Amino acid sequence: MERDVFFVSDRTGITAETLGLSLLTQFNGIKFVKHTRRFVNSLEKAREVGEEITRLAREKGRPPIVFSTLIDEDMRRALATADGVFFDLVDTFIVPLEGALDQKSSHTIGRARESLDQSKYNLRMDAVNYALITDDGLHTQDYNRADVIILGVSRSGKTPSCLYLALTFGVYAANYPLTEEDLEDLRLPSALVGHRHLLYGLTISPQRLHHVRSERKADSPYASLRRCQYEIAQAEALYRREGIPYIDTTTMSVEEIATTILHQMKLAWRLA
């Protein structure tokens, strides 16, 4: 079964997508076709999206699901009249909050980000820059600034996890690739010895690793299932030997990996 889903926002669409997709994951057996419409910041644009939703409903014979975070009331009404199943994420939360706080909201587009971004932007960019300069074992001399150092074999999800931690939480996350020599010796690399308390390992099923590597270097020894099985077994043995906490990322999204690391390592959320 297939169902079209629209995420409509007057800004980046991140809030609509994040909340909407979180709700949709509770429903199995349905293929959701995603349509994100960002920067819908005029009545004309809202009407155009509404017409698109109605047109798709007629073509498919089923109304699309619509998650909206539009602030302007006229734009919200224009969208709500379309032939879709409309979920107003702003109204759902703003109206109860107005009652709880005994105050009408400003209904100003981008107001929250306007105040937050000014104070958090530099911190976020510093964290991202740190993740980039320490990616893949580079600049190990800067590990004294790290909040966490993520370990794993090649293509196990280290870099995306570090960048997500930096962008979302302002965490200084470095990553170090376990090399063939590290795995053969089952010994912690010298660059990591003085930072044991910061280490966190990633593992992944050999089958999944084989699939990921084959997309990059098909039919190579690097991507062979036997090689993947060996590397994962050795990496997990190293984690156990050195007492390094680790998680299996096989079925986890980068968001889940990052938040698990944040929680288990008790890292400070600088962008809170």
Is 156 annotated in some ligand binding site? yes
Give the CB-side neighbour count of residue 182, counting CA atoms within 13 A.
25
Is 61 annotated in some ligand binding site? no
153 backbone dihedrals φ, ψ, rounded to 5°: -75, 170
Is 155 annotated in some ligand binding site? yes
Is 29 annotated in some ligand binding site? no
Stated length of the chain = 272
Is 158 annotated in some ligand binding site? yes
Q: Are residues 171 and 128 in contact, defined by beta-carbon separation less than 8 angstroms?
A: no
> Is 223 in a helix, a strand, or coil?
helix
Is 159 annotated in some ligand binding site? yes
Is 154 annotated in some ligand binding site? yes
Q: Side chain identity at 4, as an amino acid letter? A: D
Beta bridge partners of 7: 36, 67
Beta strands 246-248 and 199-203 are: parallel
Is 105 annotated in some ligand binding site? no
Residues annotated within a binding site for ADP: 152-159
Output the known binding site. Answer: 152-159
